Amino acid sequence: LCWPGSGGIRGGAAMDLFGDLRRMNKRQLYYQVLNFAMIVSSALMIWKGLIVVTGSESPIVVVLSGSMEPAFHRGDLLFLTNFHDDPIRAGEIVVFKVEGRDIPIVHRVIKVHEKGNGNIKFLTKGDNNEVDDRGLYKEGQNWLEKKDVVGRARGFLPYVGMVTIIMNDYPKFKYALLAVMGAYVLLKRES
């Protein structure tokens, strides 16, 4: 049963949500807001802790294309480390950023050039691509350096990152999901 003029079930659910908020006393509401803030800050602390432990500015990434199939598929969640003492070797899967591109790329190292002074330059290629990545690098750049590496793949969970891809492809879904999660945390009552 819906209230007249409420817009159907959605409007009725919104009325219930606001009714629940009005029935809470101020102390309960403050407690729920504080609980929500603690959840968000805990998630941020865990993320920052992972950055410190793994040495990577982005310890978890989602594969966004099929360029690494069959090794990784679109939507796979990768766990990265980036310890600067570890040498980069051919065959290793790295995540790198290129100047002029916002999104990191996940590809395999196919060639490594080490110089006597310790400088390392390397070339990457997607397993499912016909040619190397020189076309992806900034103009005039033929090799990557260690400073370009965000991390190295150390493990993965298949297709777990599809949620992230769906939320990026459908922003309304993302905001609706965030609103539902926020409302749940704010309205959940301790028993």
Amino acid at 153: A
pLDDT of 186 higher than 80:
no
d(CA 143, CA 115): 13
Contact 185, 39 (CB under 8 A): yes
Selected catalytic residue, list 56, 67, 76, 148: 67
- The confidence band for 11, taking pLDDT boundaries of 50, 70 and 90, is low
Pick the catalytic residue: 107, 127, 169, 191?
A: 107
Asked if 152 contacts 104 with a C-beta cutoff of 8 angstroms, the reply is no
How much is the mean pLDDT over the chain? 86
Catalytic site includes residue 169:
no
Which residues form the domain of 74? Answer: 60-164
Predicted pLDDT at 104: 93
User: Over 90: is that where the pLDDT of 131 sits?
Assistant: yes
Q: Do 30 and 82 have their domain in common?
A: no
Q: Hey, what are 181's tokens?
A: 């999660």
**Confidence check: pLDDT of 163 > 80:** yes
Percentages of the chain per state (helix, strand, coil), in multiples of 5: 40, 20, 40
- Tell me if 140 is assigned to some domain: yes
Whole-number Å distance between alpha carbons of 65 and 103: 11
Domain identity same for 35 and 99: no
Burial 142-169 (b: 16+ CB within 10 A, else e): ebbebebbbbbbeebeeeebeebeebee
117 belongs to a structural domain: yes
Nearest one of 183, 101, 160, 185 to 136, comparing CA atoms? 101
Same domain flag for 157 and 115: yes
Q: Examine the domain organization and report whether 74 and 139 are in the same domain.
A: yes
Does residue 67 carry a catalytic annotation?
yes
Cα 96 from Cα 58, distance rounded (Å): 11
113 given a catalytic annotation: no
64 pLDDT band, cuts 50/70/90, is very high
Check whether 1 has a pLDDT greater than 50. no
76 and 134 inside one domain: yes
38 and 115, same domain (yes or no) = no
Mean pLDDT of 122-143: 94
- Residue 103's contacts (CB-CB under 8 Å, 6 or more residues apart) are 64
Give residue 13's pLDDT. Answer: 58
> Are 86 and 129 within one domain?
yes
**Of 58, 76, 113, 133, catalytic:** 133
Q: Are 182 and 175 in contact (CB under 8 A)?
A: no
What pTM does this model have?
0.73
In total, how many domains does the chain have? 2
pLDDT of residue 9: 47
- Same structural domain for residues 132 and 77? yes
In a domain, 72, yes or no: yes
Check whether 4 has a pLDDT greater than 50: no
pLDDT tens figures, 75-126? 999 999 999 888 899 999 999 999 888 889 999 999 999 887 878 999 999 9
